[in-house]
Amino acid sequence: MKYVLIAEDDVDVAELLGQVLTEHLELVTENIANGALVMDALIARRPDLLILDIEMPGLNGLDVFDLMRSDRHWQSVPILFLTALPDRASTANAPAGVHEILAKPFEISALLAMAERLMAGRKADFAA
């Protein structure tokens, strides 16, 4: 069964993400609310998808992304940035290979489509 790691410090958003993903896709989710704990969670279980918020306590999502992309073991993990700051995510990380960026508030259908596409290993049909 596919596994999605959700790194989101807003409890309500994290619960919504987990509920929607598990109801519509065959997978399990786990939430980490502190960016400093994401790497430990990755080591414990490699996700099929990481949903990564930019603004989190500990390490922010951009720092986590940089750590992952600097270690070849984590470079292939698909990442979906979920953020109220989509311009910051795309500008800071476009050269480093951000797969998808979903702006808050988001449409459930867009979340599901992006998650399915990333877990299937397909890139977006449009520029972020």
Q: In what helix (H) or strand (E) does residue 29 lie, and over which residues does it extend? A: strand 27-32
- Domains of the chain by residue range: 1-47
Which three-class secondary structure state does DSSP give residue 21? helix
Among 9-18, 20-29, 72-81, which stretch is predicted with the lowest mean pLDDT? 72-81
CA–CA separation, 54 vs 68, rounded Å? 14
- pLDDT above 90: residue 98: no
pLDDT at residue 126 in the model: 42
pLDDT tens digits, 69-86: 889 999 889 999 888 876
- pLDDT above 70: residue 31: yes
Q: Is the peptide bond before 47 cis (omega within 30 degrees of 0)?
A: no
- For the domain with range 1-47, which CATH number is right: 1.10.8, 2.10.25, 3.40.50, 3.30.1490? 3.40.50
For the segment 91-109, the average pLDDT, to the nearest whole number, is 73
Q: Which residues does 2 contact at the CB level (< 8 Å), separation at least 6? A: 25, 26, 27, 28, 48, 49, 119
